[in-house]
Structure 1
């Protein structure tokens, strides 16, 4: 909570101002950042083939990260101007540091040419057979190191540190596992953050939970603004965006839920990671009707794209 003299009314006004800033800035930045971001990605040759074999810009998560980081820096600046010294300010600094770093490792992987190795077994297999570190392995090493360093400032006990480290290290890869179809990774991010928010409201109270969400709001809003471009097949999040969203989801559990909730999520993430090495999540989603409908919600199919293109090119 904020350590300020003036009572709850002053604190409430400050939090309302911060939330307004957290909403307004991503909305203002959306169009210019998307325009500049897509131009830069095209210039860098960040084109990849999607699951339908169509060329699509990747690493679009860079736009989302820029929007979230700019907003976060403004929020921290406002906190400092108000003379706020609190755990919330520390969380903001750690959140921005972690998000930028995780996005960097994802960007490095998006830029790399070695795309053949998949999953932990694939990357460790290349290391064992060829004595070569793939970009995915560098992402694993960098993400794990980042999670460890952040945990040193977040945890106050060995058990809490172990759980926090596991969540921060695994959550980016969990989102990345689902980034195989348009919009799917963003939907999983929404589900995880909604779950974390619900547990926070239930266990630690509304005021504390909302304070913990102040730096997550810009990320959530930026993901909503990116969603139409993602499901429309115009741009992919890439490892840059998946890493950033995954870290944000994991961080929300670490600072916003009790240790038993964190431990439960860590077990779930571990099970999902192990399962992903032996089965295809896409195949499972296709076989379960309600998952398939949720997965396809909002997505523009190739047939609809062709129909729209034909309709727009017809004579009036």
Structure 2
């Protein structure tokens, strides 16, 4: 029952936030973008998902520390993601690509919006993992658990964001990741995500970094709060491998070349 309640809270807050943003002419105009099909879409789905997922996840948390971790990860990741969505489209920001590009810009004395996002998501992951804590008694053991958890939260935020290249893809991946994790934090996150799915598939909205980072970070919180050192280590290793693979191969090409993945990816999507 608690899981269903947190799912409903996440969905309700996300829908209410989306409606509020889209009714405000100033915000609506600021968030308009052109997608890969050349259609005008709104980035309103990002802050709406971030708000709904954060509230839903906090409502479903089993204790105050996990709720605080969800609020920290969701709101900070969503906020720095929205900042990158708004500022990263500027010409001087587009020259820096990838982590190496952002570090190169920093060496030249420029702080890019992408670097702000990376630092913000990393700091949020560390703070959220520290709030979740560890059951181990030694300082070394607790520190290892916190660092692994931080890596899982930040790594999951980055991985989900990597998938947000086609309508509905990131949300479908989030459901596939979050459903097996279970628990109220994951349920609240997925409630908000699935509430955005119809408009995302219909190319009315897009998640952007705000929505994808927040959803990923909260799924990382859900996983970290339900696993120990072993589970966190396996999750972090998998995320690191998937992120490294994305530097060498295109996930979109892999999906297009794999029939069952292509059918799943296109399911429910508006025809081109």
Residues 239, 298 of structure 1: alpha-carbon distance in 2 compared, 3 angstrom cutoff: same
Residues 248, 21 of structure 1: alpha-carbon distance in 2 compared, 3 angstrom cutoff: same
2:137 matched residue in structure 1: none
Structure showing greater radius of gyration is 1
1:102 matched residue in structure 2: 77
Please show how residues 1-316 of structure 1 align to structure 2 within 5 Å. Answer: 16=1, 18-19=2-3, 21-26=5-10, 28-29=12-13, 31-40=15-24, 42-71=27-56, 75=59, 88-112=63-87, 113=90, 114-128=93-107, 130-156=108-134, 157-197=142-182, 213-302=183-272
For residues 20 and 193 of structure 1, what CA distance do their matches in structure 2 show? 14
What's the offset of the Cα at 1:31? 4.6
Deviation readout 1:198-250 (Å, 9 max, x if unpaired): xxxxxxxxxxxxxxx22332221111111011011000001000111110111
* 1:164 partner SS: helix
Ranges in structure 1 where 5+ consecutive residues have no aligned partner: 1-15, 80-86, 198-212, 303-316
Residues 296, 217 of structure 1: alpha-carbon distance in 2 compared, 3 angstrom cutoff: same
TM-score of the pair, normalised by structure 1 = 0.75
For residues 148 and 30 of structure 1, what CA distance do their matches in structure 2 show? 26
Residues 23, 288 of structure 1: alpha-carbon distance in 2 compared, 3 angstrom cutoff: closer
Aligned length: 260
For residues 162 and 114 of structure 2, what CA distance do their matches in structure 1 show? 13
For the aligned residues, what is the CA RMSD?
Answer: 2.3
Which aligned runs of 4 or more in structure 1 are off by greater than 6 angstroms?
none
What's the offset of the Cα at 1:269? 0.7
Ranges in structure 2 where 5+ consecutive residues have no aligned partner: 135-141
What's the offset of the Cα at 1:291? 1.4
Instruction: Report if the CA contact (8 A) 2:78-2:214 is conserved.
Output: yes
What's the offset of the Cα at 1:56? 1.3
Instruction: Report if the CA contact (8 A) 1:182-1:231 is conserved.
Output: yes
Deviation readout 1:154-176 (Å, 9 max, x if unpaired): 33312212211211121111111
* 2:30 partner SS: coil
For residues 170 and 5 of structure 2, what CA distance do their matches in structure 1 show? 26
2:138 matched residue in structure 1: none
Residues 28, 148 of structure 1: alpha-carbon distance in 2 compared, 3 angstrom cutoff: closer
What's the offset of the Cα at 1:72? 5.5
For residues 118 and 97 of structure 2, what CA distance do their matches in structure 1 show? 12
TM-score of the pair, normalised by structure 2 = 0.86
For residues 292 and 170 of structure 1, what CA distance do their matches in structure 2 show? 25
Deviation readout 1:87-143 (Å, 9 max, x if unpaired): 622111221122111111111111102244332233233334x43121011101111
- Is 111-120 or 157-166 further displaced after alignment? 111-120
What's the offset of the Cα at 1:26? 4.3
